[in-house]
Structures are given as structure tokens and as C-alpha cells.
Amino acid sequence: MPTVTSADGTRIAYERTGDGPPLVLVHGTAGHRVDWREVAPALAESFTLSLVERRGRGESGDAASYAIEHEYADVAAVVEHAAAEVDPDTPVSLLGHSYGAICALHAVRETDAVDRLVLYEPPLGDVPEPEGAAADIERLLREEGRDAATAAFLREAVGLSDLVIDSMRGDDLWRARLDAIPTVPREIRATQGERFDPAAFADVAVPTTLLLGGDSPSAMRRATESVADALPDADIVTLAGCAHMAMHADPEQFVDAVRDAPAAR
């Protein structure tokens, strides 16, 4: 798998597939590039995809200490490389989900190669995290292992039922989540208590589409609306009948929304 070197020297892996203008995809917490498996084949018909494997999992490296700002630089490095691989003059589309959407939003301030931004429910502002969630995951990792910690995260944070979680066990995506679960506590802590400052994004002129699940909780709706209001050129597209995981629940609707997202003219 190809890699790029981020600003702090960490190697960030990504999977490249498809044909067309570049599209970089950034997964969320407890995620992995495999998260895009239901939508990647259709998107690859229109774009050259770079499926980022964020630091701390899979074939990507990590650093001795963690700061979310390193992830902004990671995404920017992949974006710059994706542009160079296809055509240095071809702008890049950037898609981020959840925590990956936070990273994508900040990354556009570190590169001028992006002409289209798609953010799927970035948990900024008024998105409550259960008190002690990070410590609970760490305790489960110590006492019961990765499977129990992963199931607890998907149940409490994502809202999946035990029946759905049990149906996920054993496939490639479940194994990828087991690989990523040790990174969850640090990502929870990185955003816990963080105040969203709209003024910080007033200069982000990239056309932005915010994806919002029609069935997502009100806190996620408020957060999405706050980000849209802060950006000079942003619209919200509602994914009917979906919540936080539309790429799995309704891949066709998700792909259509990404393809239809406007780019800079």
C-alpha cells in the first residue's frame, strides 16, 4: 500500500483505486479505510480514490504522543500527494466522516489543492460524549479485550443494537475495528469539551456539502447546522432514512450525494 510522510515524520498509508479526478476519503473514530467498502466501487467509477488509513491503525504509523493537529497535517499530506499523482493542476475533492470530517475541515486550511469538501456529521460543538467514555474504553481494553471494548463503543457512541453488532462480528470491517479500538480514547479526549469557534472557519472558501442523516439525533443536527452556518459556501444535504452510517445503510444514496456535491467553478 502506498504511503506519504506527514509533517511530523509519521508514515500515513492509503489505498488508491478508480479513475478520474482525485477524491480523498477520511474515516471516523474506530474506523478504517475498509469503512468505505460499500461505496468505493461506485465512487471509483467517477474518481481516483485515496482511502486514508488514519494514524495508529493498519499500515499507517503513529507517534509517541497524540495531538489531533497531527491528523490535519496527515490529511493535507495525502491530498497534496493525490493531486500530484493524478495531475498537479487537477483539484482534489475531500470527504470526511465524523472525526474524519473534523480532520478534513481543518486540513483545507493547510492546503490549497481542495476545490470540493464533503463533511458527514462532524461532531463539533453541541455533541455530548458520555462522561468517562474514554476511561470506560480503556478499562474494557485492559479487563475484557478489544472485542468487548469495540462492542461497547458501537453500542454507546454509535447507537447500534446488540443484534446488529453480533451480525458484524467476523468480517473484515470488524477485524479493522478491533485494530483501531485502542485509538478511540485519545480521539474522545481530543474533542471532549472543545468549543466550536465559527470565526475560525470564516476564511474557508471551499464549496462544502454537509451530509446529515435524516434519522440522526438532534445534537448531531445542531452540530451540522453550526458548521454550515460558519462556512461561507456551505449547504446541508439530508440522507433520508439514515443516521450516522449511511455508507453502510444506504450506499446508493450516499454515493449520489457525494457525486452531486458542487465544486469550485
Residue 164 has pLDDT above 90, yes or no: no
Higher-confidence position of 25 and 164: 25
Intra-chain end-to-end CA distance of the chain, in Å: 33
Cα-to-chain-centroid distance, residue 28 = 4
pLDDT-derived band at 25 (thresholds 50, 70, 90) equals very high
Q: What is the pLDDT of residue 161?
A: 86
pLDDT tens per residue, range 55-80: 999 999 999 999 999 999 999 999 99
Average pLDDT over residues 180-196: 90
pLDDT score, position 39: 99
Share the mean pLDDT of the chain.
94
Looking at residue 52, what is its pLDDT? 99
Q: Taking a C-beta distance cutoff of 8 angstroms, is the pair 135, 129 a contact?
A: no
pLDDT per residue as tens digits for the range 137-158:
999 999 999 999 999 999 988 8
* pLDDT tens-place string over residues 213-264: 999 999 899 999 999 999 999 999 999 999 999 999 999 999 999 999 998 7
Q: Are 120 and 211 in contact (CB under 8 A)?
A: yes
What's CA 10's distance to the chain center, in Å?
19
Sign of the CA dihedral running 240, 36, 105, 67: positive
CB-based contacts of 128, cutoff 8 Å, min separation 6 = 219
> What is the dihedral angle through the alpha carbons of 181, 186, 191, 193, rounded to the nearest 10 degrees?
120
Q: How confident is the model at residue 132 (pLDDT cuts 50, 70, 90)?
A: confident
Q: Has residue 194 got a pLDDT over 80?
A: no
d(CA 4, CA 85): 12
Q: Are strands 22-26 and 92-97 parallel, antiparallel or unpaired?
A: parallel
CB 181 within 8 A of CB 90: no
The answer on pLDDT for 196 being more than 90 is: no
CATH number attached to the domain at 3-125+194-260: 3.40.50.1820
Hey, where are the domains in the chain?
3-125+194-260, 133-184
Other beta carbons within 10 angstroms of residue 64's beta carbon come to 5
Q: Which has the closest alpha carbon to 52: 30, 74, 22, 20? A: 74
